[in-house]
Structure 1
Amino acid sequence: MAFAQSHIMAARRHQHSRLIIEVDEYSSNPTQAFTFYNINQGRFQPPHVQMVDPVPHDAPKPPGYTRFVCISDTHSRTDPIQMPYGDVLIHAGDFTELGLPSEVKKFNEWLGSLPYEYKIVIAGNHELTFDQEFMADLIKQDFYYFPSVSKLKPESYENVQSLLTNCIYLQDSEVTVRGFRIYGSPWRKMTTVVEKRLEQVACVCEPLKFIWQPWFYGWGFNLPRGQALLEKWNLIPDGIDILITHGPPLGFLDWVPKKMQRVGCVELLNTVQRRIQPRLHVFGHIHEEIVSQEGCRRYEQTASHEA
């Protein structure tokens, strides 16, 4: 069974004062942004970024190193996964289908069976119950797109994060592990499909407009491109060694062939390359790029990296 792997991007870091990142002029059109920045600035090749080769599962770890095993988008299908040896497990979100408490408990049990010293997890857009604002809006609707979720009683999901007892859960927060500062954020861009559906339904039946909120078919942790997402990226402190986001930055494993579009976040790219410059950027979300030749590097379902 195929899973979307966690993608890793290593960027060079320099000592500098905090830079102010502004909304990019191409923010609303990532495909156009990719073309412009690729041709004019070469921002998707070294020295701006280096794609990291996965370490073979059976490769011995050099003395004094910490091995990170990075996965994403397992969607409650963890049974067939053969996990490699490592020190720290990172999961970049979408560990469930809908964020149901039963799914979270099952995932937590699986984490508990793994031998890693540290397990670090962020939510993805499928962890609906982890987005409290989304849930508050969802249960008010007369038309339920997620019936199994919208029928949940608030007391069953208000503290759903507490079910993750076998890992460190990050949501716009950081933790230091073995000397590495690690920051995690679940947010991603709102899809243009959502916006188009809203426009179409509003034209057909204006009274139904309240049902088709822009977030409604966009799942959890869903924000418009531009300022809204940039404000989340601005929360990331300088000096972070490993950045975990659910969605990709522009230009890296973000190509969706059916739409013939790049879907990565331009503001995330600018934040990573111009301000944060982490040692590693781990992300997932785009299933179409489960194995990619981007940057002349082949990525498999489970990647590990030594630092």
Structure 2
Amino acid sequence: MRIFEFIIRFFVFVGWLSQCMEASKKRIDPYAENELWDSLKESRIQNVIEKNENGEINTPPTDGRPYLKVVCISDTHEQLDKVEVPDGDVLIHAGDFTNSGKRDELIRFNNEMAAFPHKYKLVVAGNHELGFDKKENKSQRNANDQGQGTDDGYELLTNVTYLQDQSITIEGVHFFGSSYHPLYGFPFYRDRRTEMPNCWKAVPNDTDVLITHTPPLGYLDQFGEERWGCKDLLYTVERIQPAFHIFGHVHERHGILSNNQTTFINAAQCSRNNLIQTRPIVFYIPTKVSL
């Protein structure tokens, strides 16, 4: 009887496993960590923050303290000229400013960024900046991307500060940028299980504004039924508690959430079909030095 019961359970398990494998094949990211987020979400705070008609999510300090006005954009996909970018002190672009990292588009983007009045312009690459990732295994690229891009294309970005595992301090405010993500077949892809845990070790503990291309798991990261965010990035944000975390990548989830320590901003400008549909997000952050 026990043997018969064991056989029945075995075949039930095999059927369940087969269904899971078939479901994963239909995913763009077969290792999307939906189930992990389901187990974490009850213990995570997610407060929605609205922006006003000017894209602002907070107001400048009213006590006379100096501050930076920070403008956030992402995922413009060769359409930066269609984005109404407000003035400010710092302009952040969180990646995917091109479709495939073509040289002429990088030059165009560099020139467009130069025309903006912001004193500081910070850029991280996205998964569409082909050629930017020195450690990319190009044999893993999607068929349409083979042979595309510009090797070391970031060298053409002379009018911005390009950040890859790098920090910059602006008037006492610490910014850090990095481009890793877990979406196979693109530059800066790193395996969720074996590589992503090490990707965020370079983020300094005193980071005030974190800029990545990928979202953290569970925060403005849902593409269809898949969670494209990174769990190790989530744990890093929760550990260092930056005031702001800026990202893009998932076009459909443009918006702002807060966990009461960090404000998460998905600044993607394009819709799912790569049409500009949103306006930049603006925040104010007090400086840490007297001006």
Q: For residues 109-156 of structure 1, what are the alpha-carbon distances to aligned partners after superposition, in whole Å with 9 as ceiling and x for unaligned?
A: 00000000100000000001101233x634x99x95325617xxxxxx
Q: For 1:193-246, what per-residue CA distance to the aligned partner results, in whole angstroms no more than 9, with x for missing partners?
A: xxxxxxxxxxxxxxxxxxxxxx4xx21111111330111111211111110010
Q: Percent identity?
A: 36
**What letter is aligned with 2:229?**
G
Output the amino acid matched with 1:265: C
Q: Structure 2 matches for 1:87-236, cutoff 5 A?
A: 87-134=89-136, 137-138=138-139, 145-146=144-145, 149=148, 157-190=150-183, 215=184, 218-236=185-203
C-alpha distance in 2 between matches for 1:58 and 1:276: 26
Distance 1:174 1:35, change over 3 A: same
- Return the alpha-carbon distance in structure 2 between the equivalents of residues 249 and 66 of structure 1: 25
Please report how far the alpha carbon of residue 158 of structure 1 lies from its aligned counterpart in structure 2 after TM superposition: 3.8
Q: CA deviation at 1:95?
A: 0.7
Who is 2:232 aligned against?
A: 267
TM-score by length of structure 1 reads 0.69
Map of 1:247 onto structure 2? 214
Give secondary structure in 2 for the equivalent of 1:107.
Answer: helix
- TM-score using structure 2 length: 0.72
How far apart, CA to CA, are the structure 2 residues paired with 1:145 and 1:264? Answer: 24
1:233–1:127 distance in 2 versus 1, CA, 3 Å: same
Aligned twin of 2:41: 38
Give how far 1:294 is off: 9.3
Residues 53/68 of structure 1: CA separation in 2 closer, same or farther (3 Å cut) = farther
**CA separation of 1:292 and 1:132: change in aligned 2, threshold 3 A:** same
Q: Is the 8 A contact 2:164 2:177 kept in 1?
A: yes
Note the residue ranges of structure 2 that are not aligned, 5 or more in a row.
1-30, 267-277, 286-291
| Secondary structure of the structure 1 residue equivalent to 2:246 | strand
Once residues 173 and 37 of structure 1 are traced to their aligned partners in structure 2, the CA distance between those partners, rounded to angstroms, is: 30
Aligned-partner Cα distance in 1 for 2:71–2:232: 27
Equivalent AA in structure 1 for residue 102 of structure 2:
L
Partner in structure 1 of residue 51 of structure 2: 54
Partner Cα distance (2:55, 2:201) in 1: 38
Q: What amino acid does structure 1 have at the position aligned with 2:35?
A: Q
Residue 289 in 1 paired to residue 282 in 2? no
**Contact 2:49/2:257 (CA < 8 Å) preserved in 1?**
no
1:57/1:85 contact within 8 Å kept? no
Matched pairs, number: 235
Work out which of the two has the higher radius of gyration on C-alpha atoms and give 1 or 2: 2
The answer to whether the 8 Å contact 2:244/2:265 transfers is no
Dislocated runs of 4+, deviation >6 Å = 292-295
Asked if 1 retains the 8 angstrom alpha-carbon contact of 2:209 and 2:245, the reply is: yes
Contact 2:222–2:253 at 8 Å: present in 1 too? yes
Q: Secondary structure at the match of 2:106?
A: helix
1:291 deviation in Å? 5.3
Instruction: Report the alpha carbon displacement of residue 37 of structure 1 after superposing the two structures with TM.
Output: 1.2
Relative distance call for 1:224 and 1:298 in structure 2 (3 A) is closer
Provide structure 1 residue ranges, at least 5 long, that are not aligned to the other structure: 1-27, 151-156, 191-214
What's the RMSD between the two structures over aligned residues?
2.9
